[in-house]
Amino acid sequence: MSEKQFAGVNVTVDDEGFMIDYTQWNEDIARGLAKEIGIEELNDKHFMVLNFMRKEFKEKGTGPSLRKLKNESGVNTKELYGLFPKGPAKKAALIAGITKPVGCI
Protein backbone atom coordinates (compact mmCIF):
# COMPACT_ATOMS: atom_id res chain seq x y z
CA MET A 1 0.00 0.00 0.00
CA SER A 2 1.04 3.54 -0.65
CA GLU A 3 -0.29 7.06 -0.43
CA LYS A 4 -1.06 9.42 -3.28
CA GLN A 5 -2.23 12.99 -3.25
CA PHE A 6 -5.02 14.32 -5.43
CA ALA A 7 -6.43 17.84 -5.09
CA GLY A 8 -4.74 18.23 -1.72
CA VAL A 9 -6.17 14.99 -0.30
CA ASN A 10 -3.92 12.06 0.65
CA VAL A 11 -5.49 8.71 -0.23
CA THR A 12 -4.20 5.22 0.46
CA VAL A 13 -4.14 2.89 -2.53
CA ASP A 14 -3.32 -0.79 -2.93
CA ASP A 15 -0.56 -2.19 -5.13
CA GLU A 16 -2.75 -1.84 -8.24
CA GLY A 17 -3.77 1.77 -7.50
CA PHE A 18 -7.28 1.08 -6.16
CA MET A 19 -8.34 3.28 -3.24
CA ILE A 20 -8.60 1.55 0.13
CA ASP A 21 -11.25 3.88 1.60
CA TYR A 22 -13.94 4.72 -0.96
CA THR A 23 -15.41 7.40 1.34
CA GLN A 24 -12.41 9.67 0.62
CA TRP A 25 -13.41 9.89 -3.05
CA ASN A 26 -14.58 13.05 -4.76
CA GLU A 27 -14.70 14.23 -8.38
CA ASP A 28 -11.28 15.91 -8.17
CA ILE A 29 -9.73 12.65 -6.97
CA ALA A 30 -11.50 10.87 -9.83
CA ARG A 31 -9.95 13.27 -12.32
CA GLY A 32 -6.50 12.64 -10.84
CA LEU A 33 -6.94 8.86 -10.92
CA ALA A 34 -8.18 9.06 -14.52
CA LYS A 35 -5.17 11.06 -15.65
CA GLU A 36 -2.85 8.49 -14.07
CA ILE A 37 -4.29 5.79 -16.33
CA GLY A 38 -4.39 7.91 -19.49
CA ILE A 39 -7.92 9.33 -19.46
CA GLU A 40 -7.29 13.05 -19.71
CA GLU A 41 -10.80 14.39 -19.17
CA LEU A 42 -13.97 13.05 -17.56
CA ASN A 43 -17.36 14.01 -18.95
CA ASP A 44 -20.99 13.49 -17.85
CA LYS A 45 -21.06 9.94 -19.28
CA HIS A 46 -17.94 9.04 -17.29
CA PHE A 47 -19.57 10.32 -14.12
CA MET A 48 -22.80 8.46 -14.92
CA VAL A 49 -20.79 5.22 -14.93
CA LEU A 50 -18.67 6.19 -11.92
CA ASN A 51 -21.72 7.04 -9.82
CA PHE A 52 -23.39 3.76 -10.83
CA MET A 53 -20.23 1.89 -9.80
CA ARG A 54 -20.16 3.64 -6.43
CA LYS A 55 -23.87 3.01 -5.81
CA GLU A 56 -23.45 -0.71 -6.53
CA PHE A 57 -20.37 -0.88 -4.32
CA LYS A 58 -22.13 0.86 -1.44
CA GLU A 59 -25.14 -1.48 -1.72
CA LYS A 60 -23.33 -4.77 -2.39
CA GLY A 61 -19.74 -4.37 -1.24
CA THR A 62 -18.27 -4.97 -4.70
CA GLY A 63 -18.30 -3.24 -8.06
CA PRO A 64 -20.56 -4.51 -10.83
CA SER A 65 -19.40 -6.87 -13.54
CA LEU A 66 -19.09 -5.59 -17.10
CA ARG A 67 -22.37 -7.34 -17.93
CA LYS A 68 -24.25 -5.56 -15.15
CA LEU A 69 -22.50 -2.31 -16.01
CA LYS A 70 -23.63 -2.44 -19.64
CA ASN A 71 -27.14 -3.57 -18.76
CA GLU A 72 -27.90 -1.16 -15.93
CA SER A 73 -25.66 1.91 -16.06
CA GLY A 74 -27.35 3.52 -19.06
CA VAL A 75 -24.19 3.26 -21.17
CA ASN A 76 -23.83 0.56 -23.82
CA THR A 77 -20.80 -1.68 -24.33
CA LYS A 78 -19.34 0.31 -27.22
CA GLU A 79 -19.58 3.56 -25.24
CA LEU A 80 -18.06 1.90 -22.16
CA TYR A 81 -15.00 0.85 -24.15
CA GLY A 82 -14.77 4.36 -25.60
CA LEU A 83 -14.92 5.94 -22.15
CA PHE A 84 -12.68 3.39 -20.40
CA PRO A 85 -10.52 1.70 -23.08
CA LYS A 86 -9.10 -1.78 -22.53
CA GLY A 87 -11.08 -2.79 -19.47
CA PRO A 88 -14.09 -0.63 -18.65
CA ALA A 89 -15.17 -2.34 -15.41
CA LYS A 90 -11.68 -2.36 -13.92
CA LYS A 91 -10.78 1.18 -15.02
CA ALA A 92 -14.14 2.61 -13.98
CA ALA A 93 -13.79 0.96 -10.55
CA LEU A 94 -10.31 2.42 -10.10
CA ILE A 95 -11.49 5.93 -11.02
CA ALA A 96 -14.66 5.53 -8.91
CA GLY A 97 -12.49 4.89 -5.86
CA ILE A 98 -13.79 1.39 -5.19
CA THR A 99 -12.09 -2.00 -5.08
CA LYS A 100 -11.44 -4.02 -8.21
CA PRO A 101 -14.60 -5.91 -9.25
CA VAL A 102 -14.65 -9.65 -8.61
CA GLY A 103 -13.55 -11.50 -11.74
CA CYS A 104 -11.35 -8.70 -13.14
CA ILE A 105 -7.80 -9.70 -13.86
**Which among 17, 49, 21 is positioned nearest to 33, based on CA atoms?**
17
For every residue of 57-97, DSSP letters joined together read HHHHSSPPPHHHHHHHSS--HHHHHHHS-S-HHHHHHHHHT
Active site residues: 104
Chain-centroid distance of CA 91 in Å reads 5
Say what the pLDDT of residue 6 is.
Answer: 84
3-class SS of residue 7: coil
For the chain, the structural domain boundaries read 2-96
Tell me the mean pLDDT per 10 residues along the chain, length 105. 87 92 95 95 97 96 90 94 94 94 63
Say what the pLDDT of residue 104 is.
Answer: 56
Say what the pLDDT of residue 49 is.
Answer: 97
Q: Looking at domain 2-96, what is its CATH homologous superfamily? A: DsrC protein, C-terminal domain (1.10.10.370)
